């Protein structure tokens, strides 16, 4: 017979303390603050029925913009991080210095400052130099519709593109260190064995080292992708209409602070938690093919 497992006294005390704190917070929110709750206006900012049919509300459109920002910046950050991570582990001094300089500059700058400097530089110089705004105006109606589906409102496309590049540069610095640590975690014997088989360094990385390192990097990469979703809120300061910016507009118009931010909190949580579950499933699937597990 299995013995009954009782909750240890310390764990019970912690659980009781947390429960008491939660009860106190709920009591203070609903009674002491004297706040008059009104959740009835929230649904129309999620999904709205008009004469033209069902339309996405302000918060849902902001969530889609957050998704676009996160997906594109994560993919681009993965490219930056992989490239500079390989530089950080290169036997050539110049490449190591380039990778270290990139990581050192980005990781030691406040993200708010990086957003402002990068945004004004990209919007003022790079976007004009590349002719992005002029190119947007030359799009046909069909092309504009497809581009709007992929990138959001086209009148904000230059700002959106700037936000994606800045986020990718910022997140790429952290992915660089994840890639470097993953490569360096592979045993020296793997390098020696692959060299004995006649692989050059590119072949060693492609066929032997990176496949093994990917299993070890996946949890950290997943955490970094989730951080990208949360960090995307910072681009609201440059007027990109993502979820946080939409929430600020709605709060200013309705003065319903708690309802708006609790709704946004739930939307962010569901998005990040869904990604965590998806990555966990991928990780379990990849572990099936590992001979050491």
CATH value at residue 162:
1.10.3720.10
Average pLDDT of span 78-92: 94
Q: What angle do CA 55, 141, 62 make, to 5 degrees?
A: 35
Q: Among 2-6, 79-83, 146-150, 259-263, whose mean pLDDT is lowest?
A: 2-6
How many C-beta neighbours within 10 Å does residue 262 have?
Answer: 14
How many C-beta neighbours within 10 Å does residue 70 have?
Answer: 25
- List, in sequence order, the alpha helices (H) in the chain: 9-27, 58-88, 93-107, 111-121, 127-130, 132-137, 141-151, 157-185, 188-196, 201-204, 210-231, 243-254, 257-287
Per-residue pLDDT at 71 exceeds 90: yes
Range of the domain at 280: 57-287
Q: Which helix (H) or strand (E) holds 293?
A: none
Could you tell me if residue 196 is inside a domain?
yes
Could you tell me if residue 265 is inside a domain?
yes
What is the per-residue pLDDT for 33? 66
Could you tell me if residue 280 is inside a domain?
yes
Q: Among 8-17, 111-120, 229-238, 279-288, whose mean pLDDT is lowest?
A: 279-288
Could you tell me if residue 52 is inside a domain?
no
What is the per-residue pLDDT for 88? 94
* pLDDT tens readout for residues 169-222: 999 999 999 999 999 999 988 998 888 888 898 899 989 899 889 888 988 898
Rg over alpha carbons for the chain, rounded to the nearest Å, is 24
What is the per-residue pLDDT for 292? 52
Could you tell me if residue 254 is inside a domain?
yes
Reported as a pLDDT band with limits 50, 70 and 90, residue 51 is confident
- Domain count of the fold of the chain: 1
Per-residue pLDDT at 265 exceeds 90: yes
Residues paired with residue 56 on neighbouring β-strands, in sequence order: 47
Q: Alpha carbon of 33 to those of 25, 28, 37, 159, 192: distances in Å?
A: 11, 6, 11, 39, 67
Could you tell me if residue 70 is inside a domain?
yes
Question: What is the 8-class DSSP label of residue 33?
Answer: S
Question: What is the 8-class DSSP label of residue 207?
Answer: I
Could you tell me if residue 19 is inside a domain?
no
With b for 16 or more beta-carbon neighbours within 10 A and e for fewer, the 182-194 pattern comes to bbeebeeeebeeb
Burial of 273 (0-12, 13-18, 19+ CB in 10 A): exposed
* pLDDT tens readout for residues 10-34: 888 888 999 998 888 777 766 766 6
246, HSE (Cβ side, Cα atoms, 13 Å) = 22
pTM of the model: 0.85
Could you tell me if residue 133 is inside a domain?
yes
């Amino acid at each position: 017979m299995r013995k009954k497992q009782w909750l240890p006294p310390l764990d019970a005390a912690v659980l009781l303390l947390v429960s008491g704190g939660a009860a106190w917070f709920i009591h203070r929110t609903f009674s002491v603050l004297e706040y008059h709750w009104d959740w009835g206006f929230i649904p129309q900012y999620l999904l709205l029925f008009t004469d033209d049919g069902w339309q996405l509300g302000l918060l849902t459109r902001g969530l889609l913009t957050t998704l676009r920002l996160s997906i594109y910046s994560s993919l681009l950050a993965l490219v930056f991080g992989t490239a500079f991570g390989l530089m950080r582990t290169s036997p050539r001094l110049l490449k190591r210095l380039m990778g270290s300089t990139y990581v050192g500059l980005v990781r030691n700058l406040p993200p708010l400052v990086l957003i402002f400097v990068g945004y004004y530089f990209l919007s003022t110089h790079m976007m004009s130099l590349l002719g992005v705004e002029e190119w947007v105006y030359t799009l046909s109606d069909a092309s504009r519709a497809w581009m709007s589906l992929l990138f959001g409102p086209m009148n904000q496309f230059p700002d959106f593109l700037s936000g994606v590049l800045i986020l990718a540069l910022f997140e790429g610095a952290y992915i660089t260190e994840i890639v470097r640590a993953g490569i360096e975690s592979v045993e020296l014997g793997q390098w020696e064995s692959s060299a004995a088989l006649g692989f050059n360094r590119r072949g060693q990385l492609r066929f032997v080292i990176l496949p093994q390192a990917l299993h070890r990097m996946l949890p950290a990469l997943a955490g970094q992708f989730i951080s990208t979703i949360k960090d995307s809120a910072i681009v609201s300061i440059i007027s990109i209409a993502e979820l946080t910016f939409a929430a600020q507009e709605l709060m200013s118009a309705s003065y319903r602070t708690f309802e708006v931010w609790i709704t946004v909190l739930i939307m962010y949580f569901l998005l990040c938690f869904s990604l965590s579950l998806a990555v966990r499933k991928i990780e379990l699937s990849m572990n099936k093919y590992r001979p050491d597990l």
